[in-house]
């Protein structure tokens, strides 16, 4: 299933994306679950299956998109998790452990909405990533059982403000409206092998990143195991798995994002996350 979050005239909603449109689940479920996160917390994804063949209530073109998961409890991200990215800035050791950092919820941006280049910096960078959505919570989750805790997958663009990142990683990774997430979540049953996907980031139609998700240094089960040692994972948490080589920072000259650019992150089996870039003053 592909599950999207969006706004309606009655407020936030979520629905199943089909070839014909969107089946509005908040309406179809009689309001039993207020959001996609509520569905995950209730362990109720199976309740959505009977609606998969229903006639759509909305056209995709009519959606006012929200981030695929608008209200994650936690957004955990992994730095330097592709060998190609570790090496593109010059000789550097592979991290001994996963390099985790966190994002604020208000950094998230929906598919089609603008990434905001902050007024305090011109060093705005893209980072296409595969994001994992947790469906079953847990603490000290063993890697051997970690995939049982995955609800699905989506695309993420870990927009980074590189000069502020030199101050501290939390600063450079948490600028307002810098991190697109979407367009929807594809449930784990449709992606039996998340290491067999292809990730491509495009800037104004030109490929700038291309990699297979099997190139991750630390696998998804390993990341879940490691993160759950630090903090209990909960339904609706998001874990971004890292970006491959090709970021703007390490190009000569750097390919910083500017107003008018369009960034696309495409992952096979999931879809295309597309966002324009605007300057903060114009947002």
Query: What pLDDT digit, counting tens, does each position of 207-247 carry?
Result: 999 999 999 999 999 999 999 999 999 999 999 999 999 99
Residue 91 has pLDDT above 90, yes or no: no
In which residue are the tokens 């947790």 written? 134
Judge contact between 224 and 143, C-beta under 8 A.
Answer: yes
pTM over 0.95: yes
Average pLDDT over residues 138-160: 98
DSSP structure class, residue 114: P
Question: Which of the 8 DSSP states describes residue 34?
Answer: S
Q: How far apart are CA 150 and CA 113, in angstroms?
A: 27
Q: What is the domain partition of the chain in residue ranges?
A: 2-65, 75-282
In this predicted structure, the answer to whether residue 135 has a pLDDT above a threshold of 50 is yes
Alpha-carbon distance 105 to 272, whole Å?
Answer: 21
* Element of type H or E holding 133: strand 128-134
Given a cut of 80, whether residue 282 has pLDDT beyond it is no
Mean pLDDT calculated for residue range 100-120: 98
Task: Give CA–CA dist 283/181, Å, rounded.
Answer: 18
Predicted confidence at residue 213, as pLDDT, reads 98
Rounded CA separation 68/108 (Å): 9
pLDDT at 283: 47
More reliable by pLDDT, 32 or 175: 175
The span from the CA of 51 to the CA of 4, in Å, is 14
Quickly state the pLDDT bin for 93 (edges 50, 70, 90): confident
Which residues 6+ apart lie within 8 Å of 172 measured at CB? Answer: 160, 161, 162, 163, 164, 165, 166
Q: Mean pLDDT across the stretch 113-123? A: 98
Tell me which DSSP letter residue 173 carries.
T
Q: How far apart are the first and last CA of the chain?
A: 33
Domain 75-282, CATH homologous superfamily name and number: Fumarylacetoacetase-like, C-terminal domain (3.90.850.10)
How would residue 133 be classed by pLDDT, with cut points 50, 70 and 90?
very high
Is residue 65 within 8 A of residue 6, CB to CB? The reply is: yes
| Phi-psi sector, 16: left (phi>0), alpha (psi -120 to 50), beta | beta
* pLDDT > 90: percent of the chain: 93
- Residue 201: strand pairing partners: 209, 265
Q: Which helix (H) or strand (E) holds 238?
A: strand 238-240
Note the pLDDT of residue 87. 84
Give the closest residue to 148 by CA, choosing from 162, 138, 158, 157: 138
pLDDT of residue 242: 98
């Amino acid at each position: 299933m592909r599950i999207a979050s969006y706004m309606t005239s009655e407020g936030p909603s979520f629905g199943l994306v089909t070839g014909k449109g969107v089946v509005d689940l908040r309406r179809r479920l009689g309001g039993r679950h207020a959001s996609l996160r509520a569905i995950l917390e209730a362990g109720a994804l199976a309740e959505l299956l009977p609606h998969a063949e229903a006639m759509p209530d909305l056209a995709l073109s009519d959606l006012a998109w929200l981030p695929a998961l608008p209200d994650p409890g936690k957004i955990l991200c992994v730095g330097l998790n592709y060998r190609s990215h570790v090496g593109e800035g010059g000789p550097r050791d592979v991290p001994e452990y996963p390099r985790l950092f966190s994002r604020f919820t208000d950094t998230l941006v929906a598919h089609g909405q603008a990434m905001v280049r902050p007024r305090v910096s011109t060093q705005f960078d893209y980072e296409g990533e595969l994001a994992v959505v947790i469906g079953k919570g847990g603490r000290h989750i063993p890697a051997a059982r970690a995939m049982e805790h995955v609800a699905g997958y989506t695309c993420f663009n870990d927009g980074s403000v590189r000069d502020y990142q030199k101050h501290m990683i939390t600063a450079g990774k948490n600028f307002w409206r810098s991190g697109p997430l979407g367009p929807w979540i594809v449930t784990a049953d449709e992606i039996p092998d998340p290491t067999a996907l292809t990730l491509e980031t495009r800037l104004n139609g030109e490929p700038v990143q291309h990699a297979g998700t099997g190139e991750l240094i630390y696998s998804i089960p390993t990341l879940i195991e490691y993160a759950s040692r630090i903090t209990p994972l909960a339904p609706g948490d998001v874990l971004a798995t890292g970006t491959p080589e090709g970021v703007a920072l390490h190009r000569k000259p750097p390919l910083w994002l500017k107003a008018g650019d369009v960034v696309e992150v495409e992952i096979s089996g999931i879809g295309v996350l597309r966002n324009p870039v605007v300057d903060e003053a114009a947002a």
